[in-house]
Amino acid sequence: MIMVHNHPSGDPQPSSADISVTQNVLEASNLVGIALVDHLVIGSTDYVSFREHGYI
């Protein structure tokens, strides 16, 4: 599974809520045997990969 959402502000840096929700989804997905491959936050000109930044 890959989660993706945008930040209308244009700044793709994950908020503390983004990190918390991702951790909750990661725990739940592990319980049912579904791999969370990545979570991407899209900004106006860039994106942040949770996998690349070590959040997953």
Please report, for the chain, the start and end positions of each structural domain, with discontinuous segments joined by +: 2-49
**Per-residue model confidence (pLDDT) at position 18:** 96
Topology (CATH) of 2-49: Cytidine Deaminase; domain 2 (3.40.140)
**Per-residue model confidence (pLDDT) at position 28:** 97
**Per-residue model confidence (pLDDT) at position 11:** 97
**Per-residue model confidence (pLDDT) at position 19:** 96
pLDDT digits (tens, 9 = 90+) for 16-54: 999 999 999 999 999 999 999 999 999 999 999 999 999
What is the rounded distance in angstroms from the CA atom of residue 4 to the CA atom of residue 6?
7
Which residues partner with 53 through β-bridges?
Answer: none
Check: CB of residue 27 under 8 Å from CB of residue 55. Answer: no
**Per-residue model confidence (pLDDT) at position 13:** 96
pTM recorded for the entire structure: 0.88
